[in-house]
Amino acid sequence: MVFLQIKNLKIHYHTKRGINKAVDGVSFELEKGKSIGIVGESGCGKSTFVKGLIRVMSQNATITEGEVLFEEKDLVQLPEKEMRDIRWKELAIIPQAAMDSLNPVYPVLDSFIEILVLKGGMKKKQAVQRAEELFKMVGLDTKRLSYYPHEFSGGMKQRAVIALALALNPKLVIADEPVTALDVIVQSQVLKELRRLKEELGLTLILITHDISVVAQTCESIVVMYAGKIVEKGLANEVLKRPNHPYTMGLANAFPNLQEPNKPLISIEGSPPDLVDPPKGCLFSERCPFRMERCTTEEPLLTEIKPGHFAACHREAEIDDLRERSMEVATWQKVVS
Ligand SMILES: Nc1ncnc2c1ncn2[C@@H]1O[C@H](COP(=O)(O)OP(=O)(O)OP(=O)(O)O)[C@@H](O)[C@H]1O
Ligand SMILES: [Mg+2]
């Protein structure tokens, strides 16, 4: 049985300007105990995807197509009551904004008690014990359970939110940019903590980030998203060593690489397209240093180029050469006119 299987998921926002296809045909699989990183720039649809997965979406969002098979149950079709029963218990989210799970007007302990008593059916005393255990697990002093969220530093708050997500031993943990709001040193501490928990508890993890180097350190597999679509996916080691899509190459250039710390960082000029009125052809073509005529008219399909490694680029045949060129600063200059 495949633990989690996402099939052609589409999530659209209805806006005044028209339909925003924020998630447009996403498919991947995840085995139990494994972790997958979803990477892409701001606005690529990462949060929309995870919110769709747990079905906590904005009013104007609709899942228009696709399946989310979680232990063979399709979460897209599940009645809301059943979905409510499995949130926190079977799948838990570490949200992008910590305040989404810590109630600012109560001490942090109250947020834990709420989940443990209401969702987990524990007695209050038992819940306090579990909260203490969870705080210790993420390296927080149990005294701080009586503090208010605003009395926590950013790093502590993030650890508390991770502890809260783990409260009921969920089978799947989804972390949406768990460290983005933190400074670099605290980022690396919190990530280390997350990696340790993943090993010790055998967590199945979906990690959302815009920083491809975080995926390299944390996940077995990677999905690269651009403008609501997957442009590349496969084993993280393989994809990061030999990226087969220019967007992945660009992301790899834009973040520090542990193996080559002195390599200059190169950013991708421009920004993702307007998803209400996307360009024709390859959605990345406007910013791609390797675009050809065909890229602006015909959309490349996600194709298996090696077992388990998929990419969507018309220039697949020349990809080794393009990868070499992608490492030069000059390649990425003045691409966007
Ligand atoms: N409630 C909403 N109504 C309309 N459009 C939305 C809404 N939320 C997000 N969008 C749009 O959906 C697209 C994807 O946004 P999303 O928040 O999923 O991106 P993201 O990859 O999580 O970005 P970030 O890295 O900034 O968190 C964007 O075009 C965004 O403007
Ligand atoms: Mg987001």
DSSP string, 289-324: TT--GGGGTSPPPPEEEETTEEE--TTGGGHHHHHH
Q: What CA–CA distance (Å, rounded) separates 94 from 328?
A: 37
Return the residue whose CA atom lies nearest to atom 30 of ligand 1. Answer: 43
Q: Whose CA is nearest to atom 14 of ligand 1?
A: 45
Residue whose Cα lies nearest atom 25 of ligand 1: it is 42
pLDDT tens across the length of the chain (337 residues)? 899 999 999 999 999 999 999 999 999 999 999 999 999 999 999 999 999 999 999 999 999 999 999 999 999 999 999 999 999 999 999 988 777 789 999 999 999 999 999 999 999 999 999 999 999 999 999 999 999 999 999 889 989 999 999 999 999 999 999 888 778 888 888 888 889 888 998 899 999 998 888 898 899 999 999 999 999 999 999 999 999 999 999 999 888 776 777 777 888 999 999 999 999 999 999 999 999 999 999 999 999 999 999 999 999 999 999 999 999 999 998 777 6
- Looking at the CA of 57, which ligand is closest? 1
Binding site membership of 253 for ligand 1 (Cβ less than 6 Å): no
| pLDDT at site 97 | 79
Both structure tokens of 28: 């991947």
Q: Mind listing the domains of the chain with CATH numbers?
A: 4-90+170-332 (3.40.50.300)
CA distance 115 to 337: 51
| Ligand 1 mean position, distance from CA 277 (Å) | 15
Q: Which long-range contacts (CB under 8 A, 24 or more apart) does 16-22 make?
A: 17/276, 17/277, 18/276, 18/277, 19/276, 20/275, 20/276, 21/228, 21/275, 21/278, 22/48, 22/61, 22/228, 22/275
- Residue 309 CA, ligand 1 centroid: distance in Å: 27
Burial 158-176 (b: 16+ CB within 10 A, else e): bbbbbbbbbbbebbbbbbb
Q: Is the CB of 58 under 6 A from ligand 1?
A: yes
Strands 91-94, 309-311: pairing kind: unpaired
Atom of ligand 1 nearest to the CA of 51: 18
Tell which residue, 1, 204, 3, has the closest CA to residue 92: 204
Residue 312's CB: how many other CB atoms inside 10 A? 24
Give every CB contact of residue 133 below 8 A, 6+ residues apart in sequence: none
Handedness of CA 109, 160, 200, 198 (dihedral sign): positive
Q: Is the dihedral of CA 20, 10, 68, 224 positive or negative?
A: negative
CA of 44 to the centre of ligand 1 (A): 7
Q: What is the per-residue DSSP string for 161-220?
A: HHHHHTTT--SEEEEESTTTTS-HHHHHHHHHHHHHHHHHHT-EEEEEES-HHHHHHH-S
Nearest-CA residue for ligand 1 atom 24 is 42
Q: Which of 10, 47, 60, 275 to mutate to test the pocket of ligand 1 (most atoms within 8 A of CB)?
A: 47
Instruction: Output the CA 174–ligand 1 centroid distance in Å.
Output: 17
| pLDDT at res. 337 | 64
CA-closest candidate to residue 109, choices 95, 96, 125: 125
Quick check: CB of 109 below 6 Å from ligand 1? no
**pLDDT confidence of residue 273:** 93
| Per-residue pLDDT, 258 | 66
Distance from Cα 97 to the centre of ligand 2, integer Å: 9
The CA–CA distances, whole Å, from 146 to 107, 118, 127, 141 equal 5, 19, 14, 11
Of 212, 230, 177, the closest CA to residue 23 belongs to: 230
- pTM here is 0.94
Instruction: Tell me how far the alpha carbon of residue 293 lies from the centroid of ligand 2, in angstroms.
Output: 32
Are residues 239 and 249 in contact, defined by beta-carbon separation less than 8 angstroms?
no
**Going by C-beta distance under 8 Å and a sequence separation of 6 or more, which residues neighbour residue 104?**
148, 149, 150
**pLDDT value, residue 95:** 86
Q: How much distance in Å is there from the Cα of 117 to the middle of ligand 1?
A: 33
